[in-house]
A and B are shown apart, each in its own frame.
Chain A
Amino acid sequence: MSRALVVVVASMFLAFGLVRLDAQRGNPQPPRAPKAAAPFDLTGYWVSIVTQDWRWRMVTPRKGDYQGVPLTLEAAKVADTWDPAKDEAAGLQCKSYGAPALMSVPGRIHITWQDDNTLKVDTDAGMQTRVLRFGAAPKEANTTRTWQGVSQAEWLLPRPNVPLQLRPTERSADTPPIRPSGGTLQVVTKNLRAGYLRKNGVPYSENALMTEYWDVYTRPNGEQWLTITTQVEDPQYLRTARLVAPVFKKEPDGAKWDPTPCSSTW
């Protein structure tokens, strides 16, 4: 038998063996836990960078200022009745710290793994905690509505097969054409308690549905940045989806962590 034939046969055996051996034995590889399967590391402290919508985020905007939010008329009527003192007295000072607004509130977030299937996101502004659960969605029937709602998380990994045409042509430099790393954390949140998209009473209803895409990128100098594309759908109070993308930068530690309770006025 020629050497070429030996190589071909051996290679085929190896290929089939690698793929099918475990299945034949009835020992399929168990899926890795979300923590182990994470395509990037989200854990640590992140600070929000407020270069957009500054006068609606860094200070409490004036009543009736709804620019940029595709409100319904009904929502505007609700917002026109905003009374922060009344909210404070009613113990509703966290109404502008619900999940649909929280990542746009200036502050720091601390992300940790609560267990192999759960990411925990703490905020110093408003001292809130978001729990992002991977795996099967919990039953909602008896779940109490909360400011942070119920969040279902999923890793979206780069697609395995793409048309050849979309691949870059031969590159003249030595650098690899593609870094295969990457991915996105998708988070879908519902079962929310009605709250404010903006501190000046711009409302979302308890039927709001929020979908987020968390994308992390590392700059050549090692800095890590995070963009959270946030889509809020609320047929009651929004004419079209609310779409914003707050930006965060990773910090080396929690030295600037500054827990501050919710406030209706500041």
Chain B
Amino acid sequence: MGSHAVLFDLVDAGQRAKVKSQGKSTKAKVLGIGTRVKGMTYQKSVGAALIVAMTFVAAPAYAQIDLTGTWQRVGQNDNGASREPVDLLGMPFSADGRAKALSYDIASLSATERQCQMYPPIYAIVGPFPLQFTMVPDPVTQKLLAWKIAGWGDRDETVIWMDGRPHPSKNAPHTHGGFTTGEWEGDTLTAVTTHFKLGDIKRHRGFNSDRATMTYRFNRHGDVLTVTGLLEDPVYLAEPYALTEIYRLTTNPNNFPLTACEPIEELPILHENPALVPHYLPGKHPAMNEMTEHYNIPLEAVVGGPETMYPEYRKKLKDKYVMPPPCKDGCGRPPAPGQGRGQGQGQGLDQQGAPPAGGRGAAPPAGRGGGRGATPQ
């Protein structure tokens, strides 16, 4: 901690002590605390002495770093880049979580009341957009009160309270963004979010419940920011779901989309039948076998589960997996000269190459009933 910081702390501490101890205790009198020495109380003189002493002594550090700015997602992983509607590879779902995922028909998102619902907090990691951090200072002291990550059109803003306030009662209302507190651990900002609503966690291929907790770790290394997210959910997950994403500090304001959502009539059938909720009955998902057909990955792996994220699971695959024929389309090939950025590069696999399957703003997938904009089965 810098000497000036120590000075301010001591002054603040002295003021707080003064406020708290309006009456002097018997013990204080015995120790002589509060007796006046040449116009200065002993308490003040000790404080002054400590200030002088600590000014010259190197002290252990507070260790915050500045996160302010816009951080562009690097997106060289498949966090939010599923193409097939049933792709739960490596996702540690419980039986309930798997059942929920496989019953979901993305056409339900076309219902008027659902079109503008926001994604849950994990969307900060799996979504395609940058993170825009601003500092919220205390209006009096100007010290850090909170970090704010701006919202997008489909993600609520995240306010990371740094002042030690507790999380609300478990019965408090839940919002799309939830309630978040943070603290520094060395140079790492750790933030914990609770009280958020049920939402989908990988392009409509799995869900968190409203009892989930999201923990973020923000590690800044120069102009690179690594965010490690751990999603825990006693309802839909059997083990924590860990994801990372890397961001680069950018000065390009065009990287931040401030779009508002406006409900429209997407599927006439849903307007004509407001009670209709598109869904699939157990075992009836029409795209259940697409991953197996495209990549020869056994169905038991495609439907996820905690065992699928551990290395030893490869032993179960070894005798069942046969490498598919070479990739011909949407393979992430680099661009030919003068042909743009190529496939699968930059802001996320889907943002740069083939259009994302089934996501908001995405072209509806052809050839099956499950995509937004498609007719429900």
Residues on A facing B (Cβ under 8 Å): 2-4, 7-8, 10-12, 14-16, 18-19, 39, 47-56, 58-73, 75-76, 106-108, 125, 157-173, 175, 177-184, 186, 213, 215, 217, 219, 225, 227, 229, 231, 239, 242-247, 249, 256, 258, 265-266
Contacts and interface: CB of A to CB of B under 8 A. Distances in A.
A76 B228 contact: no
A52 B161 CA distance: 29
B219 A107 contact: no
Nearest to B57: A15
Contact of B63 (A2, A70, A178, A225): A178
B77 A4 contact: no
A162 B60 CA distance: 12
B332 A66 contact: yes
Given A12-B56, A64-B326, A182-B185, A50 B90 contact: yes
- Among B58, B81, B332, B353, max chain A CB count under 10 A is at B332
B76 A68 contact: yes
B224 A243 contact: yes
Main secondary structure of the interface of B (DSSP, over half): loop
B77 A229 contact: no
Interface string B142-166: 1111000000000000000011111
A64 B78 contact: no
Interface of B: 1-2, 4-5, 8, 12, 37-38, 40, 42, 45-46, 48-50, 52-58, 60-66, 74-79, 81, 89-92, 135, 137-138, 141-145, 162-166, 183-188, 190, 215, 217, 219, 221, 224, 226, 228, 230, 241-246, 295, 297, 301, 308-314, 317-318, 321, 323-328, 330-334, 336-337, 343-346, 349, 353
Nearest to A266: B318
A66 B2 contact: no
B61 A160 contact: yes
A162 B62 contact: yes
B186 A181 contact: yes
Contacts, number: 324
Contact of A184 (B165, B221, B242, B330): B221
Contacts of B301: 58
A80 B228 CA distance: 33
A178 B55 CA distance: 21
A88 to B, nearest CB: 14
B141 A169 contact: yes
Nearest to A11: B53
Nearest to A107: B311
A66 B330 CA distance: 9
Nearest to B186: A182
A62 B295 contact: yes
Nearest to A73: B334
B71 to A, nearest CB: 12
